[in-house]
A and B are shown apart, each in its own frame.
Chain A
Amino acid sequence: MKLPLSWINEFVQIDDIPVVEVARLLTAAGLEIDDIRFAGLPLPDRDDHGFKVSGIAWDKEKIVVAEIRAVNPHPNADRLTLCELFDGEKLHTVLTGAPNLHPYKGQGTLPQPIKVAYAKEGATIYDGHAEGLSLTTLKRAKIRGVESYSMVCSEKELGISEEHEGVIFLDEDAQAGTPLTDYMGDAVLEISILPNHARNTSVMGIARELAALTGRQMKKPQSPLQTGGEAIGGRLHIRIGDPALNSRFMAGLIRGVTMRPSPYWVQRRLRLCGMRPISNIVDATNYTMLEIGQPLHAFDHSILQQRAAGTPITILTRTATPGETLLTLDGVTRKLTETNVLVCDEHGALSLAGVMGGAESEINDHTADILLEAAAWNFINIRKTANQHNLPSEASYRFSRGVHPSLAEEGLRRCLYWMQQWSGGQIAPDTVDEYPQPPHTPTIHITSQDIRRALGIQIPLPQAKTLLEGLEFQCEIRSSEVETLVVTPPPFRMDIGEGITGIADVMEEIARLYGYDNIPETRLADPLPPQRGNPSLEAEEKIRNLLAGLGLQEVITYRMTSPEVEAKLLPSNLPTPHTEYVRLANPIAPEKRVLRRSLLASLLGIAEKNNRLRETLALFEIGAIYLPQTGDLPAEPRRLAISLSGKRYPNGWDEKPAAKLDFYDLKGILEALFGVLHLNITYAPAENPTYHPGKCAAVKMAETTLGVFGELHPLVQENYDFSAPMLAADLDLEAILHALPGGYPLQAVSEYPPIYEDIALIVEEDTPAEKVEALIRQTGGKMLEEVRLFDVFRGEQIGAGKKSLAYALVYRSPEGTLTDKDSAQIRNRIVRRLENETGAKLRS
């Protein structure tokens, strides 16, 4: 919401307070100032005030009120005029091209001089012909043979609006020679209105806040009306269909108005607020809405009379019937639905309540009698309707935040007043008011203990009373057993509740007015609650640390994806399986229309993106996947995905190893991870369409499968742009966390010397190495401290279909020094067992 300071100043004096200080007061109280746009007033001279500032100041000497006394033709140019202009000191001849001066051309001395905004030589204003806003300083120049050094200004040139169709015609009261900034210099505050500040969507609302914040007196507007003619009671009936949707409907009548443009000061203020001046009557409704906060609607009374054909007019409000349409004043035929509320007469709809008027009953250039509506509508309903028809407006902005029905009376009176001021006419002596259900006004009881409990400070009740009265709360201190402040909110407020909620609402007002900054900081005195920890998260974070320590980069990807992205995990020759996804009803893009079911698919997407950037990519992610569950919220189990590809060792400047990462690199990472986690894991060949059938393993703990890993299937690899074989793991983090042991036994560290021995065993190609090692360990028992496979050899020397596995063994006893004889005994046992169970031969 944009409001000019000059307007606020009519309701509470603030022109003696620096503009940025006003902005600071409002911002601290929850009315955040987004921008201060200066249109005439001097800009702050320092930069550290904390607000975004734009606009221009009008130099007191160089930009003044002037009067044009005659408009003469230019000797060489038809479209230009030469104005005889008096700036309060002397006469000038000023060249203009303003189309709105043309009608006065060649009339000689004007009977009534035209008051204008005049920029002298050296004045800095906006360039009216430039796109956007760029400053220019007026210099002496010859235009078409005539000397020019000054200018009659448009609104755009002075930074009031975008308007550059003609020059400003000021109101009669402007005195030539007055600095323009003294006459109408202004600054516009752009204020964010929070949902609980609906009452403050007006000049009066903001002025009231400022009065309360500064302790100044608010000046209430006076709207004396001259009434006469026939009363409308009996000639106009109002019937409200549903008071829940329309809690109040008031109407007044003004007869015999003259349609013409509003005074310039009205037009200027409307433009500063971002509204377009239209005519004195329409402007009066908008001006009053901005001033008081009550949106109003003007009907052409004679059209309603024609429709009623001599009988009394009946206004009724109701919801639309199925299939009903309404031609709104923007020329669009609106298809209505049953939640849309309409203002109708007995012959049909007149307007879309609170949102937009209908075309038929709209006022026009010839309208003389105006029936003025001031009503209150259900804010949720208006919000829905305005969204449904995509009709945001200043009226629906207010109605959809909540306009209290008590405002109708003041709004109606004020608007009739402005109509009469700007267009003449006679106001009917009465109004018609249908107000079936005035809202209940709560009463809130507050003790100083309540204040201390909520805010932590002592505010004596009389002080709280003074603060609240600044915002027009009615307060009374009652002394019984406990002194109590009885608070009644002012009639325009819809945000104050009852009971314990009401206390919180009032407490916020006390805190706001007292000043958040004035409430001292305290340390929590309440006992520290029982400490529970979050073991599951701690374990998850430990795994993150381990993986980063193992050289993997963590990534965090989007939870939103598409089934197509996840289908890339399968060879394209396989049929796409039907997968149930958690689907978004309002995705921002097709590629983000479901929640992921595969963490690995997201991770591979990132690997693909970085493929050309790095020779080696080692990535992991830990995060949830989303599995739909009928009739319930989705399951959100966490997964761990790893991707690994590229060179095993980065090339240095002296060594250039060429080996690529393979299955065993990934397995090494997993072994290290599970080793530190003390999980007893086994690996088994696995089949999974994502992976190469010969290079895929399942990670098992007892009978539970924790996940699979391996090299991508060549047909899956083809789905991506990877320059090296891709290793991937997709693990069930919940199962891993579940399997973590609470503790683990330690081995004593022996003081005795070891015996080292290497043995090589020739086994059949299909004998799993894991089995051989398990047998060695089992047979070696306690004396065999370490077993490490250090070579796998295949070749003619050992025969086709065989492999040689070479192990480095460390024998050591915790109880004494082993002899060669001891170790030979153990080794022989191992070899015999392997011969028996796997047919292994010791390679000599």
Chain B
Amino acid sequence: MLQKLAQIEEEALAALANIQDEAALEAWRIANMGRSAPVMSVFSQMGALSKEERPLVGQRANQVKLAIESAFAQKAEEVKQAALQKSLASERLDVTLPGRPLRQGRLHPATQNLRRILSILGEMGFQVYTSREVESDEYNFQLLNIPPYHPAREMQDTFYIETGVTEEAERQVLRTHTSPGQIRAMRQFAAENPPNPPEIRIALPGMVYRFEQITSRSEVQFNQVEGLVVGKNITFGDLKGTLAEFVRRMFGRSAKTRFRASYFPFTEPSAEMDVECFVCGGKGCGVCKKSGWLEILGCGMVHPTVLQNGGYDPAVYSGFAFGMGPERQLMLRHKITDIRYLWGNDMRFLEQF
């Protein structure tokens, strides 16, 4: 009997060794572990054994059964792993095929850029103030210290609105800068408390217009962002410090600035601020025309006449203002060589942002 058990074990394990797939394994399981398995028949024949033989055979039969079961479990795991490997191998995708396309919406690059600027200014306490685009000559020029026929008008070629009025001072214009908003804001805030108007720290974004031919370098419309600070202790040093900080947030902590004397009728002293060229790091390149500097914004201390026109007493209040062309910065940053791309709205351009 013991010999038979040894044979059963040997044959079962030998048969198991050759098995590769689950079907054969299942057939083997039924044959060797099922009700009619040889080892089971040994159990059923136990009754015919002698008292002495019975425990020996019983113990041995259990050993064989356990060995077969354990071998099965091990084989089953092997077969399962092999099957999984096979299936994984057969399910290999070309991961380089493109994903399923979605319709992707985007904001216009000018919007994205404008938001970036306004968000930095916002962190610095500048609140956004928006105002109208068709302006009176008075607001666009005269209240900003630019009387009719002033030479400074030549700095801003102007679109005029057909109103039947020809006297320059009475005409309507497409605003040439967002500066009329300075007057509108000052007057609005000053009206809240005329004897002691509140301090101002605002950003004035929006579209402005210049009478120019549309070329790769000039446009009839473009955005401008101005800043206006009015208070009782505002100095030229504050102007420099605030703008240098803006530039560091906009172009990186290491961005360097340079201030040059300039002229704007509505500020005095006036300055032009340059930023060290972020393309070449100041070494000189095509973008900065080999100068190492990029002209980024114009600024200055608010002219006393302008403060006065806004309802702020220049003997008590002082302030600074600055203005920049966001699209110019956008073009510099992305090396866009043709400004017409912006309002051309070609999908091939817009989809790159």
The residues of A with any CB-CB pair to B shorter than 8 Å are: 27-30, 32, 47-48, 50-52, 194-197, 379-380, 383-384, 400-402, 452-457, 500-501, 503-505, 507-508, 511-512, 516-517, 519-534, 537, 541, 544-545, 547-560, 582-588, 592, 595, 606, 609-610, 613-614, 616-618, 624, 626, 633-634, 636, 650-653, 655
B237 adjacent to chain A (CB < 8 Å): yes
Instruction: Find chain A residues with CB under 8 A from B207 CB.
Output: 559
Q: Which of A524, A537, A595 has the most C-beta atoms of chain B within 10 angstroms of its own C-beta?
A: A524
Structural contact, A544 and B111, CB atoms closer than 8 A: yes
- In Å, the complex CA distance between A586 and B161 comes to 8
- In Å, the complex CA distance between A586 and B157 comes to 11
Structural contact, A554 and B107, CB atoms closer than 8 A: yes
Instruction: Find chain B residues with CB under 8 A from A650 CB.
Output: 101-103
- In Å, the complex CA distance between A654 and B314 comes to 71
Instruction: Find chain A residues with CB under 8 A from B342 CB.
Output: 556
- Name the CB-closest residue of B to A197: B263
Structural contact, B106 and A614, CB atoms closer than 8 A: no
Number of chain B interface residues as a range? 35 or more
Give the shortest distance, in Å, between B217 (CB) and chain A (any CB). Answer: 15
Q: Which of A504, A523, A618 has the most C-beta atoms of chain B within 10 angstroms of its own C-beta?
A: A504
A524-B234 CB under 8 A given contacts A28-B260, A52-B290, A609-B345? yes
- Name the CB-closest residue of B to A526: B231
Instruction: Find chain A residues with CB under 8 A from B344 CB.
Output: 609
Interface residue ranges of B150-188 to A (CB < 8 Å): 150-152, 154-155, 159-163, 171-172, 174
Give the shortest distance, in Å, between B1 (CB) and chain A (any CB). Answer: 62
20 CB contacts below 8 A, A to B, read A32-B260, A48-B290, A380-B150, A454-B269, A455-B235, A455-B269, A504-B304, A507-B301, A516-B240, A526-B232, A529-B200, A529-B231, A534-B130, A549-B105, A551-B105, A553-B105, A553-B350, A556-B108, A558-B343, A653-B97
Structural contact, B199 and A527, CB atoms closer than 8 A: yes
Give the shortest distance, in Å, between B348 (CB) and chain A (any CB). Answer: 6
Q: What are the nearest 4 A-B pairs in CB distance?
A: A456-B237, A456-B235, A30-B261, A526-B231
Instruction: Find chain A residues with CB under 8 A from B261 CB.
Output: 28-30, 508, 511-512, 516
The residue from B106, B152, B260, B315 contacting A27, defined by CB atoms under 8 A apart: B260
B127 adjacent to chain A (CB < 8 Å): yes
Structural contact, B345 and A521, CB atoms closer than 8 A: no
Beyond known contacts A526-B232, A554-B111: 5 more, CB 8 A cutoff: A195-B152, A455-B269, A500-B304, A545-B107, A557-B345
Give the shortest distance, in Å, between A159 (CB) and chain B (any CB). Answer: 20
B110 adjacent to chain A (CB < 8 Å): yes
- Name the CB-closest residue of B to A538: B128
The residue from A28, A456, A555, A592 contacting B350, defined by CB atoms under 8 A apart: A555
The residue from B101, B133, B174, B291 contacting A50, defined by CB atoms under 8 A apart: B291
B318 adjacent to chain A (CB < 8 Å): yes
Structural contact, B241 and A516, CB atoms closer than 8 A: no
Instruction: Find chain A residues with CB under 8 A from B221 CB.
Output: 558-560
Structural contact, A522 and B235, CB atoms closer than 8 A: yes
Structural contact, A48 and B111, CB atoms closer than 8 A: no
Structural contact, A195 and B151, CB atoms closer than 8 A: yes
Instruction: Find chain B residues with CB under 8 A from A544 CB.
Output: 107, 111
Give the shortest distance, in Å, between B218 (CB) and chain A (any CB). Answer: 11
Structural contact, B263 and A195, CB atoms closer than 8 A: yes
The residue from A197, A500, A547 contacting B105, defined by CB atoms under 8 A apart: A547
Structural contact, B199 and A50, CB atoms closer than 8 A: no
Structural contact, A588 and B220, CB atoms closer than 8 A: yes
Give the shortest distance, in Å, between A417 (CB) and chain B (any CB). Answer: 31
B78 adjacent to chain A (CB < 8 Å): no
- In Å, the complex CA distance between A384 and B151 comes to 11
- Name the CB-closest residue of B to A512: B261
Give the shortest distance, in Å, between B258 (CB) and chain A (any CB). Answer: 7
Structural contact, A636 and B134, CB atoms closer than 8 A: yes
Instruction: Find chain B residues with CB under 8 A from A29 CB.
Output: 260-261
Q: Which of A453, A508, A595, A651 has the most C-beta atoms of chain B within 10 angstroms of its own C-beta?
A: A508
- In Å, the complex CA distance between A552 and B173 comes to 33
Q: Mark B123-157, 1 if CB is under 8 A from A, else 0.
A: 00101111011111000000000001111101100
The residue from B101, B125, B128 contacting A534, defined by CB atoms under 8 A apart: B128
B22 adjacent to chain A (CB < 8 Å): no
B15 adjacent to chain A (CB < 8 Å): no
- Name the CB-closest residue of A to B108: A554
B28 adjacent to chain A (CB < 8 Å): no
B251 adjacent to chain A (CB < 8 Å): no
Instruction: Find chain B residues with CB under 8 A from A553 CB.
Output: 105-106, 108, 347, 350-351
Structural contact, B100 and A652, CB atoms closer than 8 A: yes
Give the shortest distance, in Å, between B304 (CB) and chain A (any CB). Answer: 5
- In Å, the complex CA distance between A783 and B127 comes to 47
B325 adjacent to chain A (CB < 8 Å): no
Structural contact, A617 and B347, CB atoms closer than 8 A: yes
- Name the CB-closest residue of A to B128: A534
Number of A-B residue pairs having CB atoms within 8 Å of each other in the complex: 268
- Name the CB-closest residue of A to B101: A650
Structural contact, B260 and A552, CB atoms closer than 8 A: no
Instruction: Find chain B residues with CB under 8 A from A48 CB.
Output: 282-284, 290, 292
B201 adjacent to chain A (CB < 8 Å): yes
- In Å, the complex CA distance between A619 and B25 comes to 62
Q: Mark B221-255, 1 if CB is under 8 A from A, else 0.
A: 10000000101111111101110110000000000
Instruction: Find chain B residues with CB under 8 A from A523 CB.
Output: 238, 241-242, 245
Instruction: Find chain B residues with CB under 8 A from A452 CB.
Output: 235
A519-B98 CB under 8 A given contacts A500-B304, A626-B134, A650-B103? no
Instruction: Find chain B residues with CB under 8 A from A618 CB.
Output: 103, 105
- In Å, the complex CA distance between A592 and B219 comes to 13
Instruction: Find chain A residues with CB under 8 A from B231 CB.
Output: 524, 526-527, 529
The residue from A380, A529, A633 contacting B199, defined by CB atoms under 8 A apart: A529
Instruction: Find chain B residues with CB under 8 A from A51 CB.
Output: 291
Q: Mark B274-291, 1 if CB is under 8 A from A, else 0.
A: 000000001110000111
The residue from B98, B242, B270 contacting A524, defined by CB atoms under 8 A apart: B242
Instruction: Find chain A residues with CB under 8 A from B211 CB.
Output: 586, 588
- In Å, the complex CA distance between A517 and B199 comes to 27
Structural contact, B160 and A519, CB atoms closer than 8 A: no
Structural contact, B130 and A551, CB atoms closer than 8 A: no
Structural contact, B260 and A551, CB atoms closer than 8 A: no
Structural contact, A610 and B346, CB atoms closer than 8 A: yes
Instruction: Find chain A residues with CB under 8 A from B304 CB.
Output: 500-501, 503-504
Give the shortest distance, in Å, between B302 (CB) and chain A (any CB). Answer: 9
- Name the CB-closest residue of A to B235: A456
Structural contact, A195 and B150, CB atoms closer than 8 A: yes
Give the shortest distance, in Å, between A76 (CB) and chain B (any CB). Answer: 49
Structural contact, B346 and A512, CB atoms closer than 8 A: no
- In Å, the complex CA distance between A205 and B14 comes to 112
Instruction: Find chain A residues with CB under 8 A from B200 CB.
Output: 529
- In Å, the complex CA distance between A196 and B155 comes to 12
Structural contact, A516 and B150, CB atoms closer than 8 A: no
- In Å, the complex CA distance between A583 and B174 comes to 11
- In Å, the complex CA distance between A549 and B154 comes to 44
- In Å, the complex CA distance between A303 and B39 comes to 146
- In Å, the complex CA distance between A453 and B316 comes to 10
B20 adjacent to chain A (CB < 8 Å): no
- Name the CB-closest residue of A to B273: A516
- In Å, the complex CA distance between A799 and B111 comes to 54
B293 adjacent to chain A (CB < 8 Å): yes
Instruction: Find chain B residues with CB under 8 A from A28 CB.
Output: 260-261
A613-B348 CB under 8 A given contacts A30-B263, A456-B235, A588-B211? yes
Instruction: Find chain A residues with CB under 8 A from B103 CB.
Output: 551, 616, 618, 650
Structural contact, A613 and B347, CB atoms closer than 8 A: yes
B121 adjacent to chain A (CB < 8 Å): no
A555-B237 CB under 8 A given contacts A527-B231, A588-B213? no
- In Å, the complex CA distance between A516 and B346 comes to 43
Structural contact, B133 and A624, CB atoms closer than 8 A: yes
- In Å, the complex CA distance between A338 and B235 comes to 47
Structural contact, A383 and B151, CB atoms closer than 8 A: yes
The residue from B107, B150, B214, B348 contacting A548, defined by CB atoms under 8 A apart: B107
Structural contact, A525 and B107, CB atoms closer than 8 A: no
